[in-house]
């Protein structure tokens, strides 16, 4: 069998920090959370905030369509070759946790085809509160919930709320209308997460995705250090 000279060796197997050619691969950050909490909007806002300073790409995991990928394409937050959709066979949590093979193919293909990349955002399909990313797929994960989903979500906990590297409570502008108590959500989150950070954001506010983008920059600084 002849060797394919574009590859010095077979692709990395899982979470190896180095690519086959020895260079450091892109930082991979997962965004999970329930349906409608604003994952895709947060990804879009992050792309707009970071695209001028970083080389980045997005992998979406849709449930039964390419809708999230289509949204990002339509919004033109990144050139189309930097956005890939993974199909999940009606089980979005499986594709990010139990069988990450399709997502690993997707992130490696992005690095091969548009690389070198600094950052890849992997967005999960909207799922339930127990869905978390495998450490074999992402280096850090953000869990996105929103105030309209019920202000008792932080109190209820669950792996996403409790263990995500960053918890984002989205749509804070809606709190007065849906009767959510932001103070209580913050206290419950603190109780569940101890020192792990929480960001309250409204993408409609002037600050928008700023706090999350700053957190991502810090992760990236630690990754490349």
Partner 1 sequence: MSRAALLVLADGRFPAGGHAHSGGAEAAVKAGRVTGAASLEDFCRGRLHTAGRVSAALAAAAVLGVDPVRLDAAADARTPSPALRATARKLGRQLMRAARATWPSSELDALAREFPKGAHQPVVLGLAARAAGLGALDAAYCAAYESVSGPASATVRLLSLDPFDATGVLARLAPELDLVADQAVEAARECVDAGVDALPAASAPLLEISAEAHAAWAVRLFAS
Query: For binding to partner 1 (CB under 8 A), which residues are involved?
Result: 1-4, 6-7, 9-11, 13-14, 63-66, 86-91, 94-95, 98-102, 104-105
Tell me the C-alpha distance between 209 and 187, whole Å: 22
- Do the annotations mark residue 138 as ligand-binding? no
Tell me the C-alpha distance between 60 and 28, whole Å: 13
Closest distance between partner 1 and the C-beta of residue 202, in Å?
A: 31
Pick the closer one to partner 1 by CB: 11 or 213: 11
- Do the annotations mark residue 33 as ligand-binding? yes
Pick the closer one to partner 1 by CB: 75 or 99: 99
Closest distance between partner 1 and the C-beta of residue 213, in Å?
A: 31
Place of tokens 């700053």: 214
Residues linked to residue 198 through DSSP beta bridges, in sequence order: 167
Cα angle 145, 31, 49; round to 5: 100
Closest distance between partner 1 and the C-beta of residue 97, in Å?
A: 10
Pick the closer one to partner 1 by CB: 11 or 41: 11
Q: Are strands 56-62 and 198-200 parallel, antiparallel or unpaired?
A: unpaired
Pick the closer one to partner 1 by CB: 12 or 203: 12
- Do the annotations mark residue 34 as ligand-binding? yes
- Do the annotations mark residue 179 as ligand-binding? no
What residues contact 67, with CB distance under 8 A and at least 6 apart? none
Tell me the C-alpha distance between 168 and 31, whole Å: 10
In 3D, which of 70, 57, 68, 8 has the Cα closest to residue 33?
Answer: 68
- Do the annotations mark residue 32 as ligand-binding? no
- Do the annotations mark residue 35 as ligand-binding? yes
Closest distance between partner 1 and the C-beta of residue 65, in Å?
A: 5
Pick the closer one to partner 1 by CB: 57 or 96: 96
Can you say which residues are annotated as belonging to the binding site for GTP? 33-40
Can you say which residues are annotated as belonging to the binding site? 33-40
């Amino acid at each position: 069998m002849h060797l394919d000279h574009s590859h010095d060796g077979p692709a990395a197997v899982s979470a190896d920090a180095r690519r086959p050619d020895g260079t450091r691969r892109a930082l991979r950050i997962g965004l999970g959370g329930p349906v409608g909490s604003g994952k895709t909007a947060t990804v879009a806002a992050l792309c707009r905030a970071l695209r001028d300073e970083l080389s980045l790409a997005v992998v979406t995991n849709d449930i039964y369509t390419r809708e999230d990928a289509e949204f990002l394409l339509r919004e033109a937050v990144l050139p189309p070759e930097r956005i890939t959709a993974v199909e999940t066979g009606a089980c979005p949590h499986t594709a990010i946790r139990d069988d990450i093979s399709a997502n690993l193919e997707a992130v490696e293909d992005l690095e091969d085809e548009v690389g070198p990349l600094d950052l890849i955002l992997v967005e999960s399909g909207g799922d339930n509160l127990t869905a978390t990313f495998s450490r074999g797929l992402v280096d850090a994960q953000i869990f996105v919930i929103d105030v309209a989903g019920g202000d008792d979500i932080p109190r209820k906990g669950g792996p996403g709320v409790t263990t995500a590297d960053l918890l984002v409570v989205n749509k804070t502008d809606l709190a007065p209308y849906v009767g959510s108590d932001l103070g209580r959500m913050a206290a419950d989150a603190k109780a569940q997460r101890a020192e792990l950070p929480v960001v309250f954001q409204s993408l409609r506010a002037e600050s928008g995705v700023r706090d999350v983008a700053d957190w991502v920059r810090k992760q990236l600084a630690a990754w490349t250090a």
